[in-house]
Structure 1
Amino acid sequence: MSITLTDQDKNTLRTAAYGAVALLAAADAAGSPHKAATRGSIALYSATGPVGHVLAEKSKGVKLNGKSVAAIADEVLPALTEGMGLLRKQDPAEADNFRSAVIVAVEAATVAHKGAPSPTLAEMTRKITGALDAA
Protein backbone atom coordinates (compact mmCIF):
# COMPACT_ATOMS: atom_id res chain seq x y z
CA MET A 1 0.00 0.00 0.00
CA SER A 2 1.24 3.46 -0.84
CA ILE A 3 0.83 6.44 1.44
CA THR A 4 0.36 10.06 0.49
CA LEU A 5 1.62 12.66 2.94
CA THR A 6 1.28 16.40 2.65
CA ASP A 7 4.14 18.68 3.66
CA GLN A 8 2.22 19.37 6.88
CA ASP A 9 1.87 15.60 7.54
CA LYS A 10 5.60 15.15 7.03
CA ASN A 11 6.32 18.05 9.35
CA THR A 12 4.04 16.51 11.99
CA LEU A 13 5.90 13.19 11.75
CA ARG A 14 9.30 14.86 11.99
CA THR A 15 8.17 17.07 14.88
CA ALA A 16 6.80 14.02 16.68
CA ALA A 17 9.84 11.79 16.18
CA TYR A 18 12.66 14.29 16.62
CA GLY A 19 10.62 16.07 19.27
CA ALA A 20 10.44 12.85 21.30
CA VAL A 21 14.24 12.73 21.27
CA ALA A 22 14.45 16.43 22.19
CA LEU A 23 11.99 15.83 25.01
CA LEU A 24 14.17 13.06 26.44
CA ALA A 25 17.28 15.21 26.11
CA ALA A 26 15.55 18.08 27.92
CA ALA A 27 14.34 15.74 30.65
CA ASP A 28 17.92 14.47 31.02
CA ALA A 29 19.40 17.88 31.80
CA ALA A 30 21.29 16.51 34.81
CA GLY A 31 22.66 13.58 32.81
CA SER A 32 23.95 13.54 29.26
CA PRO A 33 21.44 15.47 27.13
CA HIS A 34 23.84 15.81 24.20
CA LYS A 35 24.48 12.06 24.08
CA ALA A 36 20.76 11.33 24.37
CA ALA A 37 19.96 13.71 21.50
CA THR A 38 22.74 12.36 19.29
CA ARG A 39 21.94 8.68 19.81
CA GLY A 40 18.20 9.20 19.40
CA SER A 41 18.63 11.28 16.24
CA ILE A 42 20.95 8.73 14.67
CA ALA A 43 18.37 6.03 15.37
CA LEU A 44 15.64 8.08 13.66
CA TYR A 45 17.87 8.80 10.68
CA SER A 46 18.32 5.02 10.35
CA ALA A 47 14.57 4.35 9.97
CA THR A 48 13.38 2.59 6.82
CA GLY A 49 10.33 2.58 4.57
CA PRO A 50 8.25 5.65 3.76
CA VAL A 51 8.64 6.89 7.34
CA GLY A 52 12.41 6.56 7.04
CA HIS A 53 12.38 8.73 3.93
CA VAL A 54 10.29 11.38 5.71
CA LEU A 55 12.56 11.39 8.76
CA ALA A 56 15.69 11.59 6.61
CA GLU A 57 14.47 14.62 4.65
CA LYS A 58 16.05 17.91 5.56
CA SER A 59 13.40 20.29 6.79
CA LYS A 60 13.36 23.72 8.30
CA GLY A 61 9.77 23.16 9.43
CA VAL A 62 10.66 21.32 12.63
CA LYS A 63 11.13 23.88 15.35
CA LEU A 64 10.08 23.32 18.92
CA ASN A 65 9.09 26.53 20.65
CA GLY A 66 9.11 25.18 24.19
CA LYS A 67 11.63 26.53 26.67
CA SER A 68 10.80 23.97 29.37
CA VAL A 69 10.22 20.23 29.43
CA ALA A 70 6.50 20.88 30.00
CA ALA A 71 6.27 23.24 27.02
CA ILE A 72 8.15 20.82 24.75
CA ALA A 73 5.85 18.00 25.89
CA ASP A 74 2.82 20.16 25.04
CA GLU A 75 4.05 20.24 21.42
CA VAL A 76 5.51 16.76 21.03
CA LEU A 77 3.03 14.44 22.74
CA PRO A 78 0.03 15.59 20.63
CA ALA A 79 2.20 15.39 17.48
CA LEU A 80 3.02 11.75 18.30
CA THR A 81 -0.67 10.91 18.60
CA GLU A 82 -1.55 12.89 15.47
CA GLY A 83 1.25 11.26 13.46
CA MET A 84 0.14 7.77 14.46
CA GLY A 85 -3.46 8.62 13.57
CA LEU A 86 -2.67 9.95 10.11
CA LEU A 87 -0.50 6.94 9.30
CA ARG A 88 -3.06 4.44 10.66
CA LYS A 89 -5.71 5.89 8.33
CA GLN A 90 -3.53 5.23 5.27
CA ASP A 91 -1.38 2.23 6.15
CA PRO A 92 -1.46 0.51 9.56
CA ALA A 93 1.84 -1.23 8.82
CA GLU A 94 3.53 2.13 8.24
CA ALA A 95 2.03 3.39 11.52
CA ASP A 96 3.67 0.41 13.23
CA ASN A 97 6.93 1.27 11.45
CA PHE A 98 6.73 4.85 12.75
CA ARG A 99 5.97 3.65 16.29
CA SER A 100 8.92 1.25 16.15
CA ALA A 101 11.25 3.96 14.85
CA VAL A 102 10.30 6.29 17.70
CA ILE A 103 10.62 3.53 20.32
CA VAL A 104 14.08 2.55 19.00
CA ALA A 105 15.12 6.23 19.15
CA VAL A 106 13.81 6.50 22.72
CA GLU A 107 15.75 3.38 23.70
CA ALA A 108 18.88 4.70 21.98
CA ALA A 109 18.52 8.05 23.75
CA THR A 110 18.17 6.44 27.16
CA VAL A 111 20.98 3.90 26.71
CA ALA A 112 23.50 6.64 27.49
CA HIS A 113 22.90 5.85 31.15
CA LYS A 114 24.77 3.15 33.00
CA GLY A 115 22.20 0.59 34.05
CA ALA A 116 18.55 1.56 34.00
CA PRO A 117 17.28 4.96 32.88
CA SER A 118 16.66 7.50 35.61
CA PRO A 119 13.12 7.68 37.00
CA THR A 120 12.68 10.95 35.07
CA LEU A 121 13.59 9.35 31.75
CA ALA A 122 11.55 6.24 32.51
CA GLU A 123 8.48 8.40 33.15
CA MET A 124 9.06 10.45 30.00
CA THR A 125 9.40 7.21 28.01
CA ARG A 126 6.01 6.09 29.40
CA LYS A 127 4.46 9.41 28.32
CA ILE A 128 5.92 9.10 24.82
CA THR A 129 4.69 5.51 24.50
CA GLY A 130 1.28 6.55 25.80
CA ALA A 131 1.03 9.30 23.19
CA LEU A 132 1.97 6.85 20.43
CA ASP A 133 -0.67 4.40 21.60
CA ALA A 134 -3.43 7.01 22.07
CA ALA A 135 -4.23 7.21 18.35
Structure 2
Amino acid sequence: MSVTLTTQEKTTLRTAAYGAVSLLAAAGGATSKPHKIATAGSIALSSATGLVGHVLAEKSGRIALSGSSVAELADQVLPALTAAVALLGEHDPVEAENFRNTIGVAIDTTALFQPQPNPTMADMTGKITAALAAA
Protein backbone atom coordinates (compact mmCIF):
# COMPACT_ATOMS: atom_id res chain seq x y z
CA MET A 1 0.00 0.00 0.00
CA SER A 2 1.41 3.35 -1.02
CA VAL A 3 0.49 6.04 1.47
CA THR A 4 0.86 9.75 0.86
CA LEU A 5 0.72 11.98 3.89
CA THR A 6 0.03 15.70 3.87
CA THR A 7 2.61 18.15 5.14
CA GLN A 8 0.49 18.66 8.27
CA GLU A 9 0.25 14.90 8.91
CA LYS A 10 4.03 14.58 8.58
CA THR A 11 4.47 17.48 10.99
CA THR A 12 2.17 15.75 13.48
CA LEU A 13 4.24 12.55 13.30
CA ARG A 14 7.54 14.38 13.74
CA THR A 15 6.17 16.53 16.58
CA ALA A 16 4.87 13.43 18.34
CA ALA A 17 8.03 11.37 17.92
CA TYR A 18 10.67 14.00 18.66
CA GLY A 19 8.43 15.54 21.31
CA ALA A 20 8.23 12.19 23.11
CA VAL A 21 12.03 12.07 23.21
CA SER A 22 12.07 15.64 24.54
CA LEU A 23 9.62 14.71 27.29
CA LEU A 24 11.77 11.75 28.28
CA ALA A 25 14.89 13.92 28.38
CA ALA A 26 13.08 16.48 30.53
CA ALA A 27 11.77 13.80 32.89
CA GLY A 28 15.20 12.21 33.18
CA GLY A 29 16.50 15.08 35.27
CA ALA A 30 20.04 16.33 35.64
CA THR A 31 21.40 13.07 37.04
CA SER A 32 20.38 11.18 33.88
CA LYS A 33 22.17 13.56 31.50
CA PRO A 34 19.24 14.80 29.41
CA HIS A 35 21.45 15.46 26.37
CA LYS A 36 22.42 11.78 26.25
CA ILE A 37 18.77 10.74 26.60
CA ALA A 38 17.80 13.08 23.76
CA THR A 39 20.63 11.84 21.54
CA ALA A 40 19.85 8.17 22.16
CA GLY A 41 16.15 8.73 21.53
CA SER A 42 16.83 10.63 18.32
CA ILE A 43 19.10 7.85 17.07
CA ALA A 44 16.34 5.35 17.79
CA LEU A 45 13.88 7.47 15.80
CA SER A 46 16.31 7.80 12.90
CA SER A 47 16.55 4.00 12.80
CA ALA A 48 12.82 3.63 12.03
CA THR A 49 11.76 1.91 8.84
CA GLY A 50 8.70 2.01 6.59
CA LEU A 51 6.62 5.11 6.07
CA VAL A 52 7.33 6.23 9.63
CA GLY A 53 11.06 6.00 9.04
CA HIS A 54 10.82 8.02 5.84
CA VAL A 55 8.78 10.77 7.51
CA LEU A 56 11.08 10.98 10.53
CA ALA A 57 14.16 11.08 8.29
CA GLU A 58 12.91 13.97 6.13
CA LYS A 59 14.76 17.23 6.57
CA SER A 60 11.96 19.55 7.55
CA GLY A 61 13.61 22.13 9.74
CA ARG A 62 12.93 22.48 13.42
CA ILE A 63 9.98 20.86 15.14
CA ALA A 64 7.72 23.58 16.54
CA LEU A 65 7.63 22.68 20.23
CA SER A 66 7.38 25.51 22.70
CA GLY A 67 6.79 26.07 26.34
CA SER A 68 8.67 26.89 29.47
CA SER A 69 7.71 23.77 31.41
CA VAL A 70 7.35 20.03 30.98
CA ALA A 71 3.59 20.49 31.41
CA GLU A 72 3.42 22.87 28.44
CA LEU A 73 5.50 20.49 26.34
CA ALA A 74 3.30 17.56 27.34
CA ASP A 75 0.20 19.55 26.37
CA GLN A 76 1.52 19.56 22.80
CA VAL A 77 3.19 16.17 22.58
CA LEU A 78 0.72 13.78 24.21
CA PRO A 79 -2.19 14.78 21.95
CA ALA A 80 0.17 14.66 18.94
CA LEU A 81 1.07 11.06 19.83
CA THR A 82 -2.59 10.07 19.87
CA ALA A 83 -3.26 11.98 16.66
CA ALA A 84 -0.28 10.39 14.91
CA VAL A 85 -1.45 6.86 15.70
CA ALA A 86 -5.01 7.73 14.64
CA LEU A 87 -4.02 9.26 11.33
CA LEU A 88 -1.66 6.42 10.51
CA GLY A 89 -4.39 3.95 11.44
CA GLU A 90 -6.70 5.58 8.91
CA HIS A 91 -4.07 5.21 6.17
CA ASP A 92 -2.42 1.93 7.09
CA PRO A 93 -2.85 0.09 10.43
CA VAL A 94 0.53 -1.59 9.96
CA GLU A 95 2.20 1.83 9.96
CA ALA A 96 0.27 2.83 13.07
CA GLU A 97 1.78 -0.18 14.82
CA ASN A 98 5.19 0.67 13.34
CA PHE A 99 4.89 4.14 14.89
CA ARG A 100 3.98 2.69 18.30
CA ASN A 101 6.92 0.30 18.10
CA THR A 102 9.29 3.08 17.03
CA ILE A 103 8.33 5.18 20.04
CA GLY A 104 8.68 2.07 22.23
CA VAL A 105 12.23 1.54 20.99
CA ALA A 106 13.03 5.18 21.71
CA ILE A 107 11.66 4.77 25.24
CA ASP A 108 13.67 1.60 25.80
CA THR A 109 16.82 3.22 24.42
CA THR A 110 16.53 6.30 26.61
CA ALA A 111 16.04 4.11 29.68
CA LEU A 112 19.60 2.89 29.24
CA PHE A 113 20.86 6.30 30.35
CA GLN A 114 19.20 6.25 33.76
CA PRO A 115 21.84 5.70 36.44
CA GLN A 116 19.14 4.23 38.66
CA PRO A 117 15.40 3.69 38.50
CA ASN A 118 13.76 7.06 37.98
CA PRO A 119 10.10 7.36 39.05
CA THR A 120 9.66 10.60 37.10
CA MET A 121 10.85 9.03 33.86
CA ALA A 122 8.72 5.94 34.52
CA ASP A 123 5.68 8.17 34.99
CA MET A 124 6.39 10.02 31.74
CA THR A 125 6.85 6.71 29.94
CA GLY A 126 3.42 5.67 31.20
CA LYS A 127 1.86 8.91 29.93
CA ILE A 128 3.48 8.46 26.50
CA THR A 129 2.35 4.84 26.31
CA ALA A 130 -1.20 5.82 27.31
CA ALA A 131 -1.27 8.52 24.62
CA LEU A 132 -0.17 5.97 22.01
CA ALA A 133 -2.91 3.58 23.11
CA ALA A 134 -5.65 6.22 23.18
CA ALA A 135 -6.12 6.27 19.41
Q: With the length of structure 1 as denominator, give the TM-score of the two structures.
A: 0.95
Letter in 2 for 1:133: A
AA partner of residue 36 (structure 1)? I
Query: In the alignment, which residue of structure 2 is the partner of 1:2?
Result: 2
CA distance in 1, matches of 2:9, 2:105: 21
Shift of residue 59 of structure 1? Answer: 1.3
- Shift of residue 2 of structure 1? 1.9
Pair 1:28 & 2:28 matched: yes
Give unmatched runs, 5+ long, in structure 1. none
Counterpart in 2 of 1:58?
A: 59
Structure-1 residue corresponding to 2:112: 111
Task: Find the aligned partners of 2:112 and 2:133 in 1 and give their Cα distance.
Answer: 22
**1:75-94 CA deviation, whole Å, 9 max, x = no partner?**
00000000000000110000
Shift of 1:40: 0.2
Calculate percent identity across the aligned residue pairs. Answer: 61
Question: 1:72-91 to 2 correspondence within 5 Å?
Answer: 72-91=73-92
Please say if residues 21 and 37 of structure 1, whose CA atoms lie closer than 8 Å, have aligned partners that are also in contact: yes
Q: How many residues align?
A: 134
Structure 2: state its 5+ residue gaps.
none
Specify the code of the residue in structure 1 equivalent to 2:73.
I
Question: Which 4+ runs in 1 deviate beyond 2 A?
Answer: none
Partner residue in 2 for 1:123: 123
Instruction: Check the 8 A contact 1:87/1:94 in 2, yes or no.
Output: yes
Paired position in structure 1 for 2:72: 71
Query: Are the aligned partners of 2:28 and 2:114 in contact in 1 as well (CA < 8 Å)?
Result: no
Q: What is the CA distance between 1:109 and its match in structure 2?
A: 1.3
Taking a change above 3 Å as real, the CA distance of residues 61 and 113 of structure 1, as seen in their structure-2 partners, is: closer
* Alpha-carbon distance in 2 for matches of 1:126, 1:2: 32
> Is 2:99 aligned against 1:98?
yes
Aligned-residue RMSD, C-alpha = 1.1
Give the letter aligned to residue 3 of structure 2.
I
Shift of 1:60: 1.9
Contact 1:43 1:108 in 2 (8 A): yes
**DSSP 3-state at the match of 2:30:** coil
Alpha-carbon separation, structure 2, partners of 1:92 and 1:57: 21
TM superposition shift of 1:30: 2.4
Provide the TM-score with structure 2 as the length reference: 0.95
